[in-house]
Structure 1
Amino acid sequence: MTFKDPTIHPSQITPRAIAEDRRQWLKNLALGGAALGMGSWLEREAFAKPVAPREKLPAKLNEQYSTRENQTSYEDATSYNNFYEFGMDKEDPAKFAERLQTRPWTVSIEGMVKKPVTLDIDALLKLAPMEERVYRLRCVEGWSMVIPWNGYVLSNLLNRVEPLGSAKYVEFISLADPKQMPGLKQKEVIRFQKAIIAAGSQPIALPFMPKDPRVVDSTGALLLQSIPKRMLVIGGGIIGLEMATVYSALGSRIDIVEMMDGLMAGADRDLERVWEKMNAHRFDRIMLKTRAVRAEAKPDGIEVFFEGEKAPDGPQQYDLVLVAVGRTPNGKKIDASAAGVQVDERGFIPVDAQMRTNVANIFAIGDIVGQPMLAHKAVHEGHVAAEAAAGQKSYFDAKQIPSVAYTDPEVAWAGLTEEQCKAQGIAYEKGLFPWAASGRAIANGRDEGFTKLLFDANTHRIIGGGIVGTNAGDLIGEVCLAIEMGADSVDIGKTIHPHPTLGESVGLAAEAHHGSCTDLPPAKKK
């Protein structure tokens, strides 16, 4: 093994040109050119010979194979250095290392993890013993080489932050500062022929809420780091009620505050009333027509002040506050205008039926294009956009987009609701089957729900439906298909359903509409 003498200065190492000239001399000697080689050696010309200037090799661009990208400049190509080299000259590492400021550098590991962390240089050095970080020196043919430490094992760093099960990818974002890292580029440009924007949305934050780990949004609530004794849910929509159901089942005492006059916006009131009756014992308070107006972080909890019809006397203290008042699109966070893509004042990106933006080769899908902000809608839009981008005649023309509240009991609806029919002046008829008459629901001990179908009063084709009860989200699929297929009550009622199942309640609701249901007493004639 060869070791470098630390007393030898880098400038004393043989220059590359001289080392190469020596090799040429040995080659000439072997070929019989000893006189020429010896003359060169004796006259010491090799030591004085200047380094020949570099010249570009002649080349002609072949348009057939060109990517039409800008060529790397000659200056960049001949002076490039990477993180470990710091330069092309043997003295550059020492010179440039003096400029390298490691503070206030930090490494942040965050995203879909339970324990996000930011590490400074001191914390990073503590993660590995010094023996792993010692530079090993080598001397190869007169060249000084620095072989650096390979770095931390990625899996060890990730284990510290405990990634969520839903995390699938790791993104590396490095420093891009030419002043500290000469030769690095600040921007990475990706070329594309077609693009799909799927930047999604984020939870809406309340400006008066303190920045405190005990105030969380839906993402933070899913981490489930502890079970609070008392919890406030701000917002009586689907997300808020789902999380309230989960934490209540785990033993938390729950208060829900909603500024509107009802919960679960979008669902018909008769569906919501069944849910509310079943959950009256589950929560301490359901405060409708009430809103939180102020909050303060205290050592022993978050103190919240209320105003409204059912506001409690004085502030209330909670171990955890969930803010679930909706989501806002990320349209204004991605600089879409740089590509000419139109973004409205709320952050939504307008699209046509093919999910195409105002820029012909750029599409957008999901939460960023509008309500409802649902994953299954986004997936369907993604199919349409991908097919349209491939040149197919694909369009988003869904007659219905189902909604499901995964609460206890579940609430699901698709197509038009009764409230929408009334608001739009649509004449409709209703078929309703109570689960109290369902053998399967009775056997399950959960017969509080019902299934209802809405039909156009003129064509008798189904235009909407709603289900409340156990596994309502699984049952609504048949209603979705019937709406898309334009089925009428006879089509649905005469479809043989398995018995005894909860699914047969869909067929029985259709029978109830046209008066042929034998599982219910005869309907009174109007």
Structure 2
Amino acid sequence: MTMETTTLLIIGGGPGGYVAAIRAGQLGIKTVLVEGGQLGGTCLNVGCIPSKALIHAAEEFHKATHYAGEGGAESALGIRTAAPSIDITRTVAWKEGIVKRLTGGVGALLKKNGVQVVRGWARILDGKTVEVTGAEGGGTGAANDAGGQTTRIRCEHLLLATGSEAVELPFLPFGGNVVSATEALSPETLPGHLVVVGAGYIGLELGTAYRKLGARVTVVEAAGRVLPAYDDELARPVAARLRALGVDLHLESSVLGLSEDGKSVRMKNGGGEEVAIDADRVLVAVGRRPRTSGFGLESLMLDMNGRAVRIDNQCRTSMRNVWAIGDLTGEPMLAHRAMAQGEMVAEIIAGKRRHFMPAAIPAVCFTDPEVVVVGLTPQDAAKQGLDCISASFPYAANGRAMTIEGTEGFVRVVARKDNHLIVGWQAVGSAVAELSTAFVQSIELGAQLEDIGGTIHAHPTLGEAVQEAALRALGHALHI
């Protein structure tokens, strides 16, 4: 066993952990990062990045199929192509190439900033001591591969960034043809029929992608509509698009398990009837939970919020100099939240005065169409007792949306009635994810409706819908 000491020890090399390590290195803090898998965590390896790559590939294939006149349809653009085909093995290899470039870049940045990366599995002994059992083989180009030996590391500050894991249903355990998003993102073959359990953003993103790749897709959801965490106005265009794509939706339905032969899913539908749905593959996407087991977290006896580690607005836990960030601390489980928290913790350890008090954190669903929520919805504002005005501008009245055949959807603004301070934005439509930066900046900078309405927006762009929504809230939209 080897012994080491450091100022900051980080467990977990996902977005939160690696950003904290890079910033700590920049600030001259001696830092060790422990990661048992690949740098980049769920987000870079089996989440955000690969899912968006697969979604893009599926969309391109779907367009080509459309232009080939699928079902005798004619393209309004006058484009005709031969019937396309897809080599899913090459698609997955392309996606893996993107992942490799990004994770390699993370490794290079860690090395550049003097961070020591220890490849292995950590176990907490106490708030100052961690034991790492080295992972055999692997390596990231910037890692110190522990090579199977055990290393004990003493630290002044311990940062927990272990992320989250997919929720497994006891009556539908992972294995065989029952998969999580991780396996769904690296398919060796495309299933004839994919059954998706859960109509949240993960299930719908991947279900839509598989449908566009040519699989038959059925979605089973216990709630009465898709995207139950979002308001109905935002979810409605997504549901309509799913039906237009031919996705079968079973709402107010519950999965009971697999049939004895494992070839179908047993389900109780909204009418209370028990039915069976044939399935070549089943994607369980019912949520994620903080990863709290397997690394000795219980030895610290930290205060918890359910399964999540409780933190204050500086990401401090109930134990002095033990910090926690990202999915481990509960909702919202978003990579960009973890990144911002990690950067802040490094700066606090370096002596800077920081608190994690963002005015808003954007959430994006890369469904078809995309959905963005930033700040308060009209319903949220009402619950908080705020007297607000809200206004929507439809994509159908936006020239750029017309030119990209994306007229479904709208941009909505929520602002205080007394001073017109903007407190929220929501949008659904083509490429609205790219508007999220403008939304969150306006709230963070304390913009009023007049600020957005009086800002000259480039024409023709989707961003004009942002200006028009603000103008409409003021009572004088120009293009509707």
| CA distance 1:218–1:310, change in 2 (3 Å) | farther
Q: Does 1:456 align with 2:419?
A: no
| CA distance 1:311–1:505, change in 2 (3 Å) | farther
Structure 1 distance, partners of 2:252, 2:387, is 31
Q: Give deviations 1:444-478, integer Å, cap 9, x for gaps.
A: 12111111100112221111111111111111211
Q: Does 1:250 align with 2:250?
A: no
Q: Which has the higher contact order (CA 8 A, sep 6+)?
A: 2
Q: Does 1:502 align with 2:462?
A: yes
1:293 to 238, 252, 256: 256
Structure 2 distance, partners of 1:381, 1:243, is 28
Identify the residue that residue 231 of structure 1 maps to in structure 2: 194
Structure 2 distance, partners of 1:271, 1:256, is 18
Residue 397 of structure 1 aligns to a residue whose secondary structure is coil
Unaligned ranges ≥5, structure 1: 1-66, 70-108, 115-158, 175-184, 521-526
* Aligned partner letter, 1:399: A
Q: Give deviations 1:212-243, integer Å, cap 9, x for gaps.
A: 32110111111122101101110110111100
Q: Who wins on radius of gyration, i.e. which is larger? A: 1
* Aligned partner letter, 1:415: G
The question of whether the paired residues in 2 share the 8 Å contact of 1:456 and 1:462 is answered with yes
Structure 1 distance, partners of 2:386, 2:450, is 21
* Aligned partner letter, 1:173: A
1:303 to 250, 258, 264: 264
Structure 2 distance, partners of 1:295, 1:509, is 48
The question of whether the paired residues in 2 share the 8 Å contact of 1:332 and 1:347 is answered with no
The question of whether the paired residues in 2 share the 8 Å contact of 1:233 and 1:254 is answered with yes
The question of whether the paired residues in 1 share the 8 Å contact of 2:370 and 2:431 is answered with yes
Residue 414 of structure 1 aligns to a residue whose secondary structure is strand
Identify the residue that residue 434 of structure 2 maps to in structure 1: 474
Identify the residue that residue 243 of structure 2 maps to in structure 1: 280
1:443 Cα deviation from its structure 2 partner: 1.4
Identify the residue that residue 316 of structure 2 maps to in structure 1: 356
Aligned counterparts, 1:379-418, within 5 A: 379-418=339-378
Structure 1 distance, partners of 2:221, 2:466, is 32
* Pairs aligned (count): 358
The question of whether the paired residues in 2 share the 8 Å contact of 1:228 and 1:319 is answered with yes
What is the TM-score of this pair, normalised by structure 2?
0.69
Structure 2 distance, partners of 1:428, 1:213, is 51
| CA distance 1:200–1:310, change in 2 (3 Å) | farther
Structure 1 distance, partners of 2:166, 2:207, is 17
Identify the residue that residue 378 of structure 1 maps to in structure 2: 338
1:345 Cα deviation from its structure 2 partner: 6.5
Aligned counterparts, 1:139-288, within 5 A: 165=100, 171=120, 172-173=134-135, 188-288=151-251
Moved more, 276-285 or 346-355: 276-285
Identify the residue that residue 275 of structure 2 maps to in structure 1: 314
The question of whether the paired residues in 2 share the 8 Å contact of 1:287 and 1:310 is answered with no
* Aligned partner letter, 2:135: I
Structure 1 distance, partners of 2:325, 2:235, is 30
Q: Does 1:366 align with 2:326?
A: yes
| CA distance 1:373–1:110, change in 2 (3 Å) | closer
| CA distance 1:307–1:219, change in 2 (3 Å) | same
The question of whether the paired residues in 2 share the 8 Å contact of 1:210 and 1:296 is answered with no
1:401 Cα deviation from its structure 2 partner: 1.1
The question of whether the paired residues in 1 share the 8 Å contact of 2:268 and 2:274 is answered with no
Identify the residue that residue 137 of structure 1 maps to in structure 2: none
Unaligned ranges ≥5, structure 2: 7-35, 47-92, 108-118, 121-133, 137-147
Structure 2 distance, partners of 1:271, 1:227, is 30
Q: Give deviations 1:51-96, integer Å, cap 9, x for gaps.
A: xxxxxxxxxxxxxxxx999xxxxxxxxxxxxxxxxxxxxxxxxxxx
Identify the residue that residue 443 of structure 2 maps to in structure 1: 483
1:416 Cα deviation from its structure 2 partner: 0.8
Structure 1 distance, partners of 2:423, 2:247, is 38
Q: Give deviations 1:119-141, integer Å, cap 9, x for gaps.
A: xxxxxxxxxxxxxxxxxxxxxxx
What is the TM-score of this pair, normalised by structure 1?
0.63
1:389 Cα deviation from its structure 2 partner: 1.5
Identify the residue that residue 442 of structure 1 maps to in structure 2: 402
| CA distance 1:222–1:312, change in 2 (3 Å) | farther
Aligned counterparts, 1:37-52, within 5 A: none
* Aligned partner letter, 1:334: F
